[in-house]
Amino acid sequence: MPWEVRPKLFALLVAQGAVHLCAGVDPVQLPCSQRPQLDPYMVESSPFGWPLAPNDWSFRHAHCWAQDYLFCNGKRQSPIDIATVNSSNNNGSSTIASAAKYKAGATPQQVRVSKYMRTVMASGDFGTLELKHGDRTKEYEAIQVHITSESLHTIDGKSYDGEMMILHKPKDQPDMSRDGVIVSVLFQHSSSGDSSIFDTFGFKDDDVPMAFADSGWVSSAAINPNETNSALAGVSYRYEGSVPVPPCSESVTWFVLRQPLAVSPKQTKKVKDMLRMYTGGDWRKRPPVAHSGRTIAQNSLQATSAHFQLTCAAAAQAGNNLQSARCWENTVPKCGSSRSPVNIVSSAPVPTPGPSPTLAPAPAHASSTAVLFSNLARYKTQDQVTVVPGKYTLDVVPTNNGSFGHLLLHGRTYTAVKLSVRAIAAHTINGVRHHGEIVIEHVLYGDRFTGPNYHPEPHRVMVSVPITLGSESPLLRHLGLGYSASKQAIHDLHPYPSIGKVDLMGGLEESFSHDWVWYNGSLLYPDCTESVKWMVFTTPISANLYQLNYLDLPVSGVDSVRDYENYHKAHHG
């Protein structure tokens, strides 16, 4: 429950060092084996496309990130040290100011601490940025402004006292998952001036203690990136980089501005104190990482698409390329042309787990139907099932080679052989990615039997049900999601029996009584086999975060999601 930090109390905590004690600040890098076991997800939608953000990391254990997230040991990571002597000019003379059409956001602006990014941020419409993308111009929308202290980036080995990041997504995309741009402005302490934009965020150059709520506060004026115009009009350094925190996706083009702006020590102290209070003490940042042969282009307005190929190639050589869906397209033969997941366009309104993104185009092969699912499904309650933690999903199978019942489709019987649960949905509904997804796998009757008609690759029908945050799901509770013994078993990848009876029709009735869409696709995971028919329901069931945080699997939900844009690129030009 949100609680307010009263000025005197906050000042007392800082003065007595209680904030630091609660944070457990330790400058010594701890061994990865001593990391605390944290919940995998937090409730914070991300500009990078995830309705839940990774929570199982800290800056104190930045050296351990690669154990859980493949790209955190990648070839195009951020932040870096900008070595100006090695930057490439190529007669570049364009400035960010010449390409930006920034504007003030709403008045007043809602401001909050991003526990995921370890920053203070505001979302809104802050204008646009036009960059070159190959031989064409591409427009990016400025959707968020973040400030932090100290800086992420360094220039010629020099660290700065603050950094502001303007986050951009392509105008034709719902988020930054495939292609993002971050313009970074540096700040340094000045005895003669403060920062107007830090002031607007609420961090004034005075000795008055802060009185903000953890749910957010209101800016003192409209937040306007143009207040940093003296830096925007100066030299910039562009490089191919990543999301600066896990999962470290290599899909960001960074523009770091050379001209630092003034900020007062009192302002940056207030930012650090706020981050200590609300992000577990992690106000520190990831140290600059290796360049890995990257070009740093000076005064360039050229953006790039996602640049994860080198990391994926190295992962394939090391044999761990299956740790991220980003690598499957280029390193797993069938995944390069697979047809799932897709974005489902529904005529019915779909509850959203966060801000509504732009609607994506409908897959040409999908079709909705008015047939009631209850007329097709003949599911039965199972008393005895085994829950098997897998690499990407939590799988549930009946004991003794049983089944959950069957579907009757086109005169054929498809047996329900497995139930799978994942955090962060693979399919999107009207451009919205839900917090989780349940998939029921059905195999054509007879395909599982050996003999003259045995099919090594069975005919499959997958039934998909989205999950949104809300009240507890009785179905997931019966699978053990909510019982402490199950949580440890899942973490240790140990199979265990269900806690109660598994009733698919009762547990998924909230979704089964609404619309569904049918399309021809493929498996969601390697080897991405095709000839799979999908029935995707558009109305989610609810589950709470406590249950979804039991899904602590070897590959995080953010790393096992394939972007549906792969399908449109491969099949619709």
Contact 274/212 with Cβ under 8 angstroms? yes
Distance CA 271, CA 313 (A): 40
Pairing of strands 217-218, 261-263: unpaired
Q: Which pLDDT value is given to residue 27?
A: 45
Q: Which pLDDT value is given to residue 495?
A: 97
The total number of residues written for the chain in this structure: 573
What average pLDDT score do residues 554-567 get? 79
Residue 303 CB coordination number (10 Å) = 23
User: Who has greater pLDDT, 9 or 562?
Assistant: 562
Interval 201-214: pLDDT, tens: 999 999 998 876 66
Interval 455-506: pLDDT, tens: 567 899 999 999 999 999 999 999 999 999 999 999 999 999 999 899 999 9
**Residue percentage of the chain with pLDDT more than 90:** 67
Q: Which pLDDT value is given to residue 86?
A: 79
The DSSP call for residue 373 is: G
Contact 57/71 with Cβ under 8 angstroms? no
Interval 117-171: pLDDT, tens: 999 999 999 999 999 988 899 999 999 999 999 999 999 999 999 999 999 999 9
Tokens 């960074």 identify what position?
254
Q: Which pLDDT value is given to residue 477?
A: 96
Distance CA 514, CA 371 (A): 10
Could you tell me the CA-to-CA distances from 125 to 42, 129, 176, 224, 246 in Å, in that order?
Answer: 25, 12, 15, 10, 26
User: Who has greater pLDDT, 160 or 178?
Assistant: 160
Q: Which pLDDT value is given to residue 89?
A: 75
Residue 525 has pLDDT above 60, yes or no: yes
What is the token pair recorded at 243?
A: 């999301």
Residue 172 has pLDDT above 80, yes or no: yes
- Least-confidence region, from 43-57, 205-219, 228-242, 300-314: 205-219
Residue 345 has pLDDT above 80, yes or no: yes
What average pLDDT score do residues 172-183 get? 92
The DSSP call for residue 448 is: T
What average pLDDT score do residues 165-189 get? 95
The DSSP call for residue 88 is: B
pTM of the model: 0.88
Q: Which pLDDT value is given to residue 455?
A: 55
Tokens 């089944």 identify what position?
403
Q: Which pLDDT value is given to residue 65?
A: 95
What's at 463, amino acid-wise?
V
Contact 153/163 with Cβ under 8 angstroms? yes
**Which of 185, 189, 211, 153 has its CA nearest to residue 269?**
189
What's at 515, amino acid-wise?
D
Q: Which pLDDT value is given to residue 571?
A: 32
Interval 236-258: pLDDT, tens: 999 999 999 999 999 999 999 99
Contact 465/511 with Cβ under 8 angstroms? yes
Domains of the chain: 7-313 (3.10.200.10), 332-571 (3.10.200.10)
Quickly state the pLDDT bin for 365 (edges 50, 70, 90): very low
3-class state of residue 214 by DSSP: coil
- Least-confidence region, from 303-312, 486-495, 540-549: 303-312
